[in-house]
Structure 1
Amino acid sequence: MRNSDTTQTAPTRRQYVKWGGTVVGSALLGGCAGAGGEASTPSETTESYSVTMAPAGEVTFDAVPERWAAYDGGFADMAVALGQADGLTGVGDADRYYTDVYDDLPGVSVDRGQIETNPEVRTKEGFYQLDSDVHLYDPQMLVNWFDWDEADVEEIATNVAPFVGNLIFRRSDEWHDYQYYTLYEAFARVADLFQERERYQAFAQLHDEFLSDVQSRLPPESDRPSVFLTYEGTDQPETFSPYRLSDKGTSKKQWRDLGVSDALAETGIENLSTTNRGELDYENLLEIDPEVILVRGHERKTAAEFRDVVLAYMEDHPVGSELTAVQNGRVYRGGYLHQGPIHNLFLTERAVKQLFPDEFGEVTGDTQLFDRERVAGIVRGDD
């Protein structure tokens, strides 16, 4: 039993969070002797609640989690949006958690030192070390990507803390045969987890108002460009991994919301996935010849840096220079792979400027399409 070498006679608050509603929790309350040889009892009465998200299913908590780890920046951003930044213990994929957007939100920040200390929380040892109250991870992702087995998942869920998460950024992995969620469906469940429904509702209202305003200003569908979304993280790209906008993963949300047409729609090219690692070269792209190319893997660059490095290389490429998008300078950064509700506001603003600069302003300009202070106020919990 954990902490059996202590003289504590009652479970700590965090033990209640981790073990509420589980076999271990029952054992702790019913069968573990304290220093006086009698079964420990709660020091205070708490009201339990449950959160349900596939694949973990229903998880019961006897107190709101204080310490949390997230695999990706999308779920981490959800927690930050709900005012939980101080509880971050580590992330599973720090390279793709972009926190610079918080610099534009007064009073909103995360501890970069904590992230840099624990940037790849993917092993059982890592979970034990962080000793979080909840893990915002899809456990089946750990099984399929990092060679865990079901016993490993059960061990950590029982001995450390439960998993609440779902791999939602794409929908093309064969092993993911359970329910998916939209960004705000997942966000709502994380809000229930942290008992922050009011903050969630404020974000949902802001999001809907912002999107409604943007969509009201879009040109007719016939005048919207065809888009090729790809991943290629090198400064001198030669091949490109394809994404399908029809995939409905949360990483493509802004492009679907803007009603752009997928340049791959009439092709047989499949979406990037665990099993499909196919790439396209410049000759393949010329056959498609999209009006706009969106390249992921360059989010540490500014818009200007991307143009000076990646677009400049494509303009000098003997075949790439023949692409319509390259000739017209319409090659841009493609947005985050993992996005939460705060990320999404910034990425949608960027996307609409990339695609429709005449209406919304240049992507390198200072025009703001949503109220930063309003966002910050929700996160801070201002009345």
Structure 2
Amino acid sequence: MPSKDAVPEESTRRAFAKYGGTVALGGLLTGCTGGDARNDPSGSDGDGGSSTDGEAGDSDASATDDTDDGSYTASISPVGEVTFESPPETVFTRLTHHAGMAFALGRGDDVTALHAPDYYDGLWNQFVERLPGVSLDWSGLYSSWQPDKEQLYALDSDLHLADPAWITRQDAWSREDIDEIAERVSPWFGNSLSDRHQEPTGEWADGYQYYGLWEQFEIVADAFRERERYEALATVREDLLATIEEGLPPEAERPTAIMIAAADIEEIYAYTLSNPGFLTSHTRPLGPRDAFEGSVESGAVVDFEAILEADPDVILYLGGFEPGTDMAGRRTAFEEDPVGSKVAAVKHDRVHPQGARYQGPILNLFQLEMTAKQLYPDAFGEWPRYEEGPYPEIPAAERLFDRQRVADAINGDL
């Protein structure tokens, strides 16, 4: 077997046939032919600077035709401008906000890799179940949390929808490796440090730009030549946010809340609800009051005593929709603990499931709806007591967004 640094001969020939020669990252020509720990619970929040924290799709970066042969360009930080001969057909991803973007653009089955594929396939399909005529299968894909360079050659994806500034945080990857894959396989085109505004390191630190989830989605849609799909979904989101804004009670009347995740109830991770970054794109618009009052950093380990001291009105439980999660058992663990049972959210049966923080656009729509109901049932309708199975079947009159419009956009019925 060739070494990790070896360049497979066949991939090299194909790559140079695509690119017609060596190119540099930031000005790549992709020659596509034709047609959270699972939620990263141990990560701590960074406090890097920001050039934008908007969630609206108002990015000024867009794809443009620039040659007579139909090629076009798209630009994203930290990669820069990339030239495409045609839309990518196969897509490498590392984190699920990028895989979720591909899915939203009708390319879910074109994803070649993602982090914890079987876990996220199970989780995502709990929501896909409610989209008529839409299907998704990520099971068995290459797990790319720590991607191997040789495996990227083998996958031979048309686009690496991943952030090179994050990839090079791993000891196995250097800038030279990033450039090699970009030149000999296909470009990088993604941004991940916007998740919680992590501070980029080394050569990536200069000029790194942060995007809201839907800002980045717009840029990615342009790279795929899927402006119509993006605009259809962005309109659904705008309508949803308008409904939420109209129904939100005054800040003083809002409940206190915390978000937690725990594979083992003995080790509970707490997450913030309103800090900058796309990880809070489903909670920040709803404006709940932080029960910890800023005293707990995102990703910190807390116990029942700390939760009781904060005494939240609502507990949002990350990963509660994953098929292997015993949501009923998690509630019971609180209810049977002499300390946990005293927490207001536990006493009033307001321990609710969540999906994932690294959410794509479709999951973001569902999570905005369900979190609105979990926090403000009087304004947006009761949230059913969930224990297992797919996302609850909300009566049509009580839905905050139209499932059929979303399904049509994914399927290209525009």
Match for 1:336 among 347, 356, 361?
356
1:280 corresponds to: 302
Secondary structure of the equivalent of 1:125?
helix
Question: Per-residue displacement from partner, 1:175-195 (whole Å, max 9, x unpaired)?
Answer: 465211101110011011101
> Is 2:106 aligned against 1:83?
yes
2:47 corresponds to: none
- Alpha-carbon separation, structure 1, partners of 2:20 and 2:79: 15
- Alpha-carbon separation, structure 2, partners of 1:20 and 1:215: 52
Secondary structure of the equivalent of 1:232?
strand
- Structure 1 stretch displaced more, 78-87 or 93-102: 93-102
| Equivalent residue pairs, number | 349
1:247 corresponds to: 275
Tell me the amino acid that sits aligned with residue 216 of structure 2.
A
Higher helix share: 1
Question: Per-residue displacement from partner, 1:68-92 (whole Å, max 9, x unpaired)?
Answer: 1111221112112112234222223
> Is 2:232 aligned against 1:202?
yes
Question: Per-residue displacement from partner, 1:327-349 (whole Å, max 9, x unpaired)?
Answer: 11211223312111111111111
1:372 corresponds to: 403
Match for 1:296 among 303, 318, 333?
318
Question: How big is the shift at 1:240?
Answer: 2.4
Question: How big is the shift at 1:214?
Answer: 2.6
Give me the CA root mean square deviation: 3.0
Contact 1:203 1:378 (C-alpha < 8 Å) held by counterparts = yes
- Alpha-carbon separation, structure 2, partners of 1:302 and 1:255: 24
- Structure 1 stretch displaced more, 125-134 or 257-266: 257-266
1:256 corresponds to: 284
1:182-201 matches, within 5 Å, as 182-201=212-231
Question: Per-residue displacement from partner, 1:265-324 (whole Å, max 9, x unpaired)?
Answer: 342x2222xxxxx41122222222222121223331499x51x21011111012111212
Tell me the amino acid that sits aligned with residue 174 of structure 2.
D
Tell me the amino acid that sits aligned with residue 368 of structure 2.
T
Contact 1:233 1:296 (C-alpha < 8 Å) held by counterparts = no
User: Aligned pair in 2 of structure 1 residues 145, 291: CA closer, same or farther (>3 Å)?
Assistant: farther
| Larger-Rg structure | 1
1:358 corresponds to: 378
Match for 1:108 among 129, 134, 153?
134
- Structure 1 stretch displaced more, 119-128 or 247-256: 119-128
User: Aligned pair in 2 of structure 1 residues 81, 117: CA closer, same or farther (>3 Å)?
Assistant: closer
Secondary structure of the equivalent of 1:90?
strand
- Alpha-carbon separation, structure 2, partners of 1:79 and 1:54: 18
User: Aligned pair in 2 of structure 1 residues 334, 373: CA closer, same or farther (>3 Å)?
Assistant: closer
- Alpha-carbon separation, structure 1, partners of 2:163 and 2:83: 17
- Alpha-carbon separation, structure 2, partners of 1:371 and 1:337: 22
1:346 corresponds to: 366
- Alpha-carbon separation, structure 2, partners of 1:145 and 1:4: 27
Percent of paired sites with the same residue = 37
Q: Give the number of the structure with larger relative contact order, counting CA–CA contacts within 8 Å between residues 6 or more apart.
A: 2
Tell me the amino acid that sits aligned with residue 332 of structure 2.
A
Question: How big is the shift at 1:47?
Answer: 2.5
Contact 1:168 1:182 (C-alpha < 8 Å) held by counterparts = no
TM-score by length of 1: 0.82
Which structure 1 residue ranges, 5 or more long, are not aligned? 29-44, 273-277
2:63 corresponds to: none
1:197-236 matches, within 5 Å, as 197-234=227-264
